[in-house]
Structure 1
Amino acid sequence: MVETVQPTSAHVDELADNLRAADRVELRCSGHTDHRKAIADSLACSTHMATVLIDGRVAAILGLAPLSLVCGVAAPWLLGTDLVTRHRRALMRLAPSYIGAMLRAYPHLVNMVHADNEFAVRWLRRAGFTFHPAQPHPATGAPFHRFEMQA
């Protein structure tokens, strides 16, 4: 059973302990060495957030971090466990309502994804995000694609 709930510190701990290998690499390539802190910090600056549970276990935590309230720009983010890849269809069914809510709150969504995170790149493309060519990350030089969507 798939359900979404408000994130808790226990969810953060469970996600950090079971983070997908590709998400660990992406965090490291964006300059984050403490995964638990990166997740908690992302939640702390997000206006919309949810934990996705599958059969009571954390599959992912997602959020929306405002970048410009004046311009209506925010960064959607999602970090997951291996349950994300095993249950990708169930998660894709949740995507339209969450993306719609995000676009209603902030009409321009933009973020970066590690170019080697093939699953995330495919998922974001299927969800309708537009991609830009990979560029070096300012903190590490690792290749990241900028992705975005506008209402």
Structure 2
Amino acid sequence: MSVEVVASKVTHIGPIASRIRAIDRVECEAMGHGPKQALRNGFLLSDRCWTALVDGRPEAMFGAVTTSALNRTATVWFLGTDEVYRHGRALLSMGPALLREAVDSSFLASNLVSSANGKAIRLLARWGFTVEPEEHVVRGVPFRYFWMKR
């Protein structure tokens, strides 16, 4: 199986949304969106947005949304299917370079991750993010704040 990262297209949203990981669905809903709407918002609002293709099939979408150009802050996000997590080594190796490109002008990149999303927490830590231990509850779902200063 091959993993390739390409610039996102609107046609990638539906295939990912229809097979999104259960924990990613929980995160989306806690933030007040369904998976399709969350992916669409990320696609439209991100300065840069990529899709991970596994054997040509869209399996994850991720990007960075500038929250303040003046303060140089960005919200980073990643939503995917179970399939993309079967290729953790590829994600691990590609992630740092993509992050550098995504937040090239941001001083602080951050977001929330579900406390139950162990795979994402481990991946974020391996990519160099600090994942805070304190939990913040959003619509009944405990989240942890993660961040990286450049």
TM-score over 0.5 for the alignment? yes
Report if aligned partners of 2:4, 2:54 keep a CA contact under 8 Å in 1.
Answer: yes
Report if the CA contact (8 A) 1:29-1:114 is conserved. Answer: no
- Map of 1:125 onto structure 2: 125
The number of residues matched between the two structures is: 148
Rounded Cα–Cα distance in structure 1 between residues aligned with 2:12 and 2:137: 31
**Superposed, which structure 2 residues align to 1:2-41 within 5 Å?**
2-32=3-33, 34-41=34-41
TM alignment of 1:1-150, pairs within 5 A: 1-32=2-33, 34-132=34-132, 133-137=134-138, 140-150=139-149
CA distance in 2, matches of 1:10, 1:102: 21
* Cα offset, 1:93, TM superposition: 0.8
The gaps in structure 1 that reach 5 residues or longer are none
Distance in 2 separating the partners of 1:105 and 1:54: 29
- TM-score, structure 1 normalization: 0.92
- Unmatched segments (≥5 aa) in structure 2: none
Give the superposition deviation at 1:142: 1.9
Larger strand fraction of residues? 2
Give me the TM-score of the superposition, normalised by structure 2: 0.93
User: Shift of the alpha carbon at 1:66?
Assistant: 0.8
